[in-house]
Structure 1
């Protein structure tokens, strides 16, 4: 395996994006958090190689499917105005018009954007054949980057060091050469992929202080700045531990209102990992059983539409206070 740098370590901002590289000595979640939390040009998307990826085409197809799932989940960040759209005929017609206008302004294929908007709103795919994989890889990578306010998407891939490693590398090279996302392979070793040894930023390793936004999170800082202007937002707590009872391990909550039994979780790119997604769902179930409501927001939505996020949280918190005042919270602890 070739080493791209001969002296010292490159910094994250200097990792190449025009070729597939291997990052053998860095944790994928740490890297995703650094890329998401700092200003820069890259929107990170974390994925794991499925066991079925035994050919370059299979890996490329799985990567494009992951990009599509991300784009669907990021609506309305890339298509403002669809946040309240309903999946009825009127709502879909309005979403199609918005998507067509965005396609014109952003020079996307029109059918690509309109079909994606319908998929995001209804879960239904069009009957027509999809665009070629090369075009979908390129346009989805562009769209995910736009949703995060970045210039390019980078796919952070783990699990490519198994028996299908060479197929993964070839598929990744095809994605990059097709104008799709940058691809960085975590832990993969291959003679055809240069290795980059990365030095993490000096701020990496900072920890959240209970009661305050995380010092390394621009997203938490932005949400706190917006909440500080709202009179109803009193009683909030940042980054504090919660446990159901003395026998259960504590969990760290991003933001919560204990009296109103409202938990707000902020999902960065590391939450796309299958194991992290499953862990998040278990936490949500536990909190729901304890009488809490869990509101989840992606980094991209907070960055692009913090006003709507604050409004949604405020609507719930104020409703809880009204119910408590009127004695209607019989079902909650």
Structure 2
């Protein structure tokens, strides 16, 4: 059994653990873990016998690139107030990127280009090898981690040729990016060079865990059927860039004076023997937690897990206000009114 810090980076391994339990256990990122992103490739493309390693690599790099751009400015210190290419924006982020590279392991020209593209868009001019290494460093920096790993779901129904292309592409990524590539999902019976390891399971909120433990809260965007999707944990202090409902709520709260004191995606530890819980939105002084529930919260296991989380928070004096994502996106005024009413009650104010 291996802990998160023991799992290898720079190589491809298969994780002997339930894929759903693994997905739930990486948000929030466990201590000692690299920055972990989850990737589900398009099955239709992998089933194409003409699919090449270069094409697979290109599709993964597009997804990693999109994640890095969405996470800006988490990976570029000093860029938080720069939100557009106008004025001196491009020159400012370029200077910040070059300074950042001069004090660390980043390749300055790549980091400067990525920072500029975060503001102005456009494709990268760098070759795949440079992009793979640079994106892995940027993603690790976004979460304050030393390395990056990609949790790749192996689709069902891959033939022998497709399995070989799939593994070769994963090996390319692991070697060029010096990242962990951890496989879950369907077996690769036609490829025998991928070793299997079993990570040590992480405890759930009340201190117990099983391979199918459903009790971790997952804030990563849902995977659309049939679509390639790179999902990733939220960065503390910011709404998740892949969550339209979190972004919409933050945009609305930013216009409300009463919303002062809020903090997004904070980690909370109910007690020393419990696993941490990631809270969507927190007002610490008022001890108010706001959770935005997507479709995955409507299943029986997740519903029960949410109730357990709520009880743990309530025992510590927190109130939990829950809204479904559709409500946030279609009736945000009601959501704002209910949050404001609660906060004013806790503050002992009116109006």
**TM-score between the two structures when normalised by the length of structure 1:** 0.63
1-structure distance, mates of 2:288, 2:8: 41
SS of 2:174's equivalent? Answer: helix
Matches within 5 A, 1:243-322: 283-292=324-333
Which residue in the other structure is 1:96 paired with? Answer: 94
- The equivalent of 1:69 in structure 2 is 66
Displacement, 1:287?
2.2
In structure 2, how many angstroms separate the alpha carbons of the residues matched to 1:218 and 1:80?
26
Aligned to 2:192: 191
Distance 1:72 1:84 in 2: 16
Please state whether the residue corresponding to 1:89 is helix, strand or coil: coil
Q: Does 1:43 align with 2:52?
A: no
**Contact 1:288 / 1:294 at 8 angstroms: preserved in 2?**
no
- Distance in 1 (CA, whole Å) between partners of 2:327 and 2:35 is 31
Query: How many angstroms apart in 1 are the aligned matches of 2:176 and 2:92?
Result: 32
Distance 1:166 1:207 in 2: 35
SS of 2:90 mapped into structure 1: helix
Q: Does 1:133 align with 2:133?
A: no
Q: CA RMSD in A?
A: 4.0
Structure 1 residues 194, 213: CA separation in 2 closer, same or farther (over 3 Å shift)? same
What's the TM-score once normalised by structure 2's chain length? Answer: 0.60
Q: What is the match of residue 245 of structure 2? A: none
Displacement of 1:80 in angstroms is: 2.2
**Unpaired stretches in structure 1, ≥5 consecutive residues:** 1-8, 244-249, 256-261, 266-282, 296-312, 326-333
Deviations 1:184-212 (A, max 9, x none): 11124231211223441344448489xx9
Deviates more, 1:174-183 or 1:43-52: 174-183
Counterpart of 1:82 (choices 79, 82, 101) is 79
Distance 2:52 2:335 in 1: 40
Distance in 2 (CA, whole Å) between partners of 1:116 and 1:240 is: 31
1:158 corresponds to 2:150: no
SS at 1:192's partner residue? coil
Per-residue Cα deviation, 1:41-87 (whole angstroms, up to 9, x for no partner): 41100011223242222222222222211211211111122222132
What is the match of residue 52 of structure 1?
45
Q: Which residue of the partner structure matches residue 278 of structure 1? A: none
Maintained 8 Å contact 1:86/1:92: no
